Amino acid sequence: MSTTILLTGGAGYIGSHTLIALHEAGYQPVILDNFSNSHPAVLERLERITGQPVRVERGDVLETPWVEAVLRRHQPVGVVHFAGDKAVGESVANPLKYFHNNIGGAVSLLRAMAAVHADGTAPAAPTLVFSSSATVYGDPASVPITEDFPRSHTNPYGHSKLVIEDMLTALRTASPVWRVGVLRYFNPVGAHPSGLIGEDPADIPNNLMPYVTQVAVGQRPYLNVYGNDYPTPDGTGVRDYIHVQDLAAGHVAALQALLGGSESFTVNLGTGHGHSVLEVVKAFEAASGRPVPYAFAPRRAGDVAQCYADAALAKRLLGWEARHTLHEMCADAWRWQSGNPNGYRG
């Protein structure tokens, strides 16, 4: 049986860490990426870590005939779908970009998978792990969040993820042969312990941890803390931060479950514990030995006060749980940033 797995967006932050986890689990990953949100230099780093050449298909998931050709060429037993845009603030400012790239990209991929399944090129059961997001819970009425919470959205990024989830539900209803795992993950942070790969935003970071690391390394003068009047213990937003290696392991566990015959599922991937922005700043200062100056700024459109997971279902269905602490997340993020102050462009 083939062990090839296709990773759309596999050169990105989460995708690159998942490639390593798949390699360690005995799979043969293939990256599909247009490198709009990643850097080709990651490929050489991945080869150093895994000791194996990295197979790459460079192109856009929106190009359905090309994606079909990739699927026919490699005949993967499963696909992990990461490709898409992910910045909440940018999605509010440019919603059409998010609807086109995220929803359109998912439609293109699913059409290509359906086509190769229909003509017998693909395995008997089309198998997909979709990297969704906790943003589909909108502004939750309470925490921790379980998978049966009502879904909503507070920004176009979250809306795009919600629409894709609904598309997958409709697809499974129309064609029950599909095996689909939907992973609603929270806030990935940290880096591979080698310090060779990590998060490398192409522009001003939209997420907390890469901004904190850039302040600590001296690239930015201070951190903007968006909102200090939320109904939280210190007034700043509370999130469930999960180490990217735990998140990668969760994607592998989901894939293994589906390939092992599991029914389709939707699970949260998180630690089950929330940390405020100021808690993260303090933890990062302790891990790095560097000060992280900050200034309060108005709330951002689309942000919510608290968002953290109940991850019990993932443990029960997949045997997965987060293992890394906030200190380890900060220490690994600092190792990456301090060793690569300009990211992959250094």
Catalytic residues: 157
Q: Cα(22)–Cα(39) distance, rounded to whole angstroms?
A: 20
Let me know: does 190 contact 243? Beta carbons within 8 Å.
yes
SS3 assignment for the chain: CCCEEEEECCCCHHHHHHHHHHHHCCCEEEEEECCCCCCCHHHHHHHHHHCCCCEEEECCCCCHHHHHHHHHHHCCCEEEECCCCCCHHHHHHCHHHHHHHHHHHHHHHHHHHHHHHHCCCCCCCCEEEEECCHHHECCCCCCCECCCCCCECCCHHHHHHHHHHHHHHHHHHHCCCCEEEEEEECEEECCCCCCCCCCCCCCCCCCHHHHHHHHHCCCCCCEEEECCCCCCCCCCCEECEEEHHHHHHHHHHHHHHHHCCCCCEEEEECCCCCEEHHHHHHHHHHHHCCCCCEEEECCCCCCCCEECECCHHHHHHHCCCCCCCHHHHHHHHHHHHHHCCCHHHC
Neighbours of 285 (CB within 10 A): 16
The two structure tokens encoding residue 17: 């860490």
